[in-house]
Structure 1
Amino acid sequence: MAFMKSAILVCVTAVLTVYLPQLWTKALPIITAGTVQPGFEPVAKLFRENFENGVEYPTGGSAFSVYYKGSKVVDIWGGYADSEAGRPWKEDTLTIVFSATKGMAALCMAVLVDRGHLDYDKTVASYWPEFAQNGKEKITVRTLLNHKAGLSEIGANVTLLGDQDALGEFLARYAPEWQPGTAQKYHALSFGLYASQLLRRADPKHRTLGQFFKEEIAQPFGIDFHIGLPLELYHRYPRLSWASAYMWFKEAITSRLMRQFIWKRLMTGKLQAVFQPVQFNELMVPEILALEQPSAWGVGTARALAKVYGILANGGATLKGQRLLSEAIIKKVMDEVKGTPVGMDGSAVAFNLGFAIEKDAKRFGHPGLGGMHGIADPQRKLGFGYVSSFLSTYTTGRDHRFHPLLEETYKCIEKLEAK
């Protein structure tokens, strides 16, 4: 009887949550803008339809960008950076990309390897002696970057983020949760912290990862991405919104997997975990965003992600011959994928050298919480970037906003290449 009451309460809550807010929500004009090269018009059409058909959340904003053979071919955006203020998403609007930041951190490490300052197969302790504490002396750089070091449970301590020396001491003391190298578990928040501390020791200039990215990648290549958002750029940042019970139930209506997910929690009495709101309010504070958290707090545009991965997909160099990374290192990313894929958000994703690998599609990059995506396809010389201020229930697996755009882009390329 108690179970039936719980189930009825959940159903009533679902209806109220999904439909009542719509009665008071004032419809905003649909806004999309940007440019596409000839032949990619269907991508822009689908992007606008996503806003018209409710695929994109009406009060959020998003952007999608594609580089093909080194050239920008799609650069579109739409919706609102702040719907309450009526502020539309603009060409230069940037937003937090969560774990898609890890792809930029992995790139920094790859650049160091390319320059001979770091070796994937040497121990972390050979660069950072203090790291050898508590059974970590045999952990290699590769093991650390592949989420196999047993350091996955470390959270984000804002106080420590503001003191790199204290943070380094804390990370060095931390004892592994399992025998390093014997298992793999996603290092959600610790990945970038350890990468940055390692980079500080291996880099001849002893910079943090955020500083290294700015000086060696962002500035030389014109990449509008920041690991530690400068306060003077905060005016370009959107108001974040995130999936509540509304999105969970909207997804449950059409997703068999999500229906099973909710039913399982009904049966186990753990349904409250589904509805607990994620506390993202601190990520609206400029002083917090200014801190370096290379695991999850990178801020940038879809264009920035697409440009970086477009360069990597184009053999590591721009059309003008400016080299970001050698083809040999890029080949290592795809050719050395080993081990069992690690689960993220219910989906299996293989990791290698810090990048997330789609082995079947022969693509690499990194997704981020809420549906952020940065992807390189070296076979087709494609770089993709997608960001949004509305954080959906998707991280990996098929994203109803991003993946149709991805697929439409491939269709356009197939038609162009068939001519």
Structure 2
Amino acid sequence: MNQLVIKMAFMKSALLVCITAVAVLYLPNLWTKPLPLLISGTTAPGFEQVLQLYRENFANGVEYPIGGSAFSVYYKGSKVVDIWGGYADSEALRPWMENTMAVVFSTTKGVAATCMALLVDRGQLDYDRTVASYWPEFAQEGKENITVRMLLGHEGGLSYTTRDITEELLGDQEALSQVLAESPPIWEPGTAHGYHALTFGLYASQLLRRADPKHRTLGKFFKEEIAEPFGIDFFIGTPFESFYRVGRLTGDISGIWSTLIKGLVDPMNREMLVSMVTGKNKDIFTVLERYPLVALKNYRRAEVLALEQPSATGVGTARAVAKLYGVLANGGQTIEGQRLLSEDIISKFIGESKAPSFDRSIGLETSFNLGYEITKIGGVEQFGHPGSGGMQGRADPQRKLSFGYVSSYHSPFGIGNDPRFSTLQKATYECLNKLEGQ
């Protein structure tokens, strides 16, 4: 009898979740007045299908009508797709422009990983040395044997800190350094991996400060060594004078539960939700609790985006993300011959990666290596990083192809599974296969 009652209660709860998901997904659209469709940009010959699909995504509701987005592709170092559409602020009817930027959330981590790789390439950092050999204060609470490789691979057990990471703390590098150094691992380093959603970039920046001869923060290092020399329109710490270019974050900004419920149509989101309910992803709630700024409404504030948080507050154009990964996909240099990274270091990103395994923070199988997420599409491996709300940056070194996707609409798909990006990526590969005769 008790089992029957429990089963009926579970079915009732499941039905309620499904009804809620349908309601939050579709009912608001019944009262939304359609806005004029705005699409701009260019494609190289042979990639026209991508622009056509982008238009269809807006027309068919794959793209969200109250937001805007941009998609860019580089092939063999040249820009072949550069398109944008929708609104940077639909309430103000401000259209998405060629230079509109977006908050890219965890896609920032891939940019941070590139900064670390540049130090390794210069011989100023070694993936297999301990973090403490560069940052002695780090060797507290059992962290003395954590290597740079383990830290960048989310294997250090440092997914949250003993104290809350506040806005004030992010503005004080010395105080932040102390909090990070004194925090103990949550699991034995090297025995498991769990996504360091909000601490990855903070630890990376403190390590970079010690390894860099000029002792710069990661945001300043990126600006001076990569962004300015290579013309990458991207910030880790957005200047106040550039804030006007940032699309106003909209969509689901109410929290992780609402986001996952909205995304129940996706198997990955369902699996993640089950892991949260059953406690398989052990750390996620503490991760969020220790980071008061996690509420997405904070990412609308210029003061927050001005802070250097290389885990989550990067701001840039889709073109910038694709251009950076385009250099990496093209063997580490531009078509003009300007070199960012050696081919040897780039070969390690995928070549030294591990097979996907259970991620104790996310509750899914993931593969991270040297700061990048490793994925497969059509049998071809890519490195890059997704961002919350559907943001993406990816490189396919085998095809010398790169992608950047950004949006002001925070979708329910934050782990690389957003149909806005995946449909465009698929269309790009189809165009490329035709051009290459495959």
Q: Identify whether the pair has TM-score above 0.5, normalized to the shorter chain.
A: yes
Please name the residue that 1:234 is paired with.
243
Is the CA contact 2:392–2:416 (under 8 Å) kept in the aligned structure 1? no
Is the CA contact 1:156–1:189 (under 8 Å) kept in the aligned structure 2? no
* Structure 1 residue 390 corresponds to structure 2 residue 409: yes
Give the Cα separation in 1 of the matches to 2:431 and 2:96.
26
Query: May I ask how many residue pairs the two structures share in their alignment?
Result: 410
Please name the residue that 2:182 is paired with.
173
Secondary structure of the residue aligned to 1:103 is helix
Q: 1:349 deviation in Å?
A: 2.4
Match of 1:120 among 127, 132, 143: 127
* Structure 1 residue 111 corresponds to structure 2 residue 118: yes
* Structure 1 residue 415 corresponds to structure 2 residue 415: no
Please name the residue that 2:333 is paired with.
317
Please name the residue that 1:294 is paired with.
310
**Identity %, equivalent residues:** 62
Please name the residue that 2:350 is paired with.
334
Secondary structure of the residue aligned to 2:303 is helix
Is the CA contact 2:387–2:416 (under 8 Å) kept in the aligned structure 1? no
Distance 1:376-1:342 versus aligned 2 partners, 3 A rule? farther
Give 2:366's aligned amino acid. V
Is the CA contact 1:347–1:397 (under 8 Å) kept in the aligned structure 2? no
1:56-95 equivalences under 5 Å are: 56-95=63-102
Give the Cα separation in 1 of the matches to 2:273 and 2:111.
34
Query: C-alpha deviations, 1:76-115, integer Å up to 9, x for none?
Result: 0111110000011111110111111000100000000101
Is the CA contact 2:67–2:251 (under 8 Å) kept in the aligned structure 1? no
Give 2:247's aligned amino acid. P
Give the Cα separation in 2 of the matches to 1:264 and 1:193.
26
Q: 1:412 deviation in Å?
A: 0.7
RMSD: 2.6
Give 2:418's aligned amino acid. D
Give the Cα separation in 1 of the matches to 2:275 and 2:195.
23
Secondary structure of the residue aligned to 1:74 is strand
* Structure 1 residue 202 corresponds to structure 2 residue 211: yes
Q: 1:282 deviation in Å?
A: 1.1
Q: 1:21 deviation in Å?
A: 2.4
Give the Cα separation in 1 of the matches to 2:25 and 2:324.
38
Is the CA contact 2:385–2:392 (under 8 Å) kept in the aligned structure 1? yes
Secondary structure of the residue aligned to 1:407 is helix
Give 1:196's aligned amino acid. S
Match of 2:323 among 307, 312, 317: 307
Query: C-alpha deviations, 1:5-31, integer Å up to 9, x for none?
Result: 756655665555444423432110111
Q: 1:157 deviation in Å?
A: 2.1
Runs of 4+, deviation exceeding 6 Å: 244-247, 259-268
Please name the residue that 2:108 is paired with.
101
Please name the residue that 2:383 is paired with.
364
Secondary structure of the residue aligned to 1:358 is strand
Please name the residue that 1:355 is paired with.
372
- Unmatched 5+ residue regions in structure 2? 280-284, 286-293
Give 1:391's aligned amino acid. H
Query: C-alpha deviations, 1:152-184, integer Å up to 9, x for none?
Result: 123642111000011111111111111111111
Give the Cα separation in 2 of the matches to 1:264 and 1:314.
38
Please name the residue that 1:26 is paired with.
33
Give 1:405's aligned amino acid. L
Give 2:174's aligned amino acid. D
Secondary structure of the residue aligned to 2:141 is helix
Give 2:99's aligned amino acid. D
Give 2:370's aligned amino acid. L
Query: C-alpha deviations, 1:96-144, integer Å up to 9, x for none?
Result: 1111100010000000010111111111111111111111111111111
Secondary structure of the residue aligned to 1:401 is helix
- Unmatched 5+ residue regions in structure 1? none
Query: C-alpha deviations, 1:296-347, integer Å up to 9, x for none?
Result: 1100111011000000000000011100000000011111113653547564
Please name the residue that 1:38 is paired with.
45
Please name the residue that 2:61 is paired with.
54
* Structure 1 residue 281 corresponds to structure 2 residue 281: no
Give the Cα separation in 2 of the matches to 1:163 and 1:193.
12
Query: C-alpha deviations, 1:259-299, integer Å up to 9, x for none?
Result: 7877999999xxxx9xxxx7211111101110000011100
Give the Cα separation in 2 of the matches to 1:36 and 1:178.
48
Give the Cα separation in 2 of the matches to 1:335 and 1:50.
35
Scaled by the length of structure 1, what TM-score is found? 0.91
Secondary structure of the residue aligned to 1:308 is helix
Distance 1:248-1:114 versus aligned 2 partners, 3 A rule? closer
Give the Cα separation in 2 of the matches to 1:177 and 1:287.
31
Secondary structure of the residue aligned to 2:295 is coil
Give the Cα separation in 2 of the matches to 1:376 and 1:202.
26
My pick for the range that moved more, 313-322 or 242-251, is 242-251
Give the Cα separation in 2 of the matches to 1:413 and 1:335.
24
Q: 1:75 deviation in Å?
A: 0.2
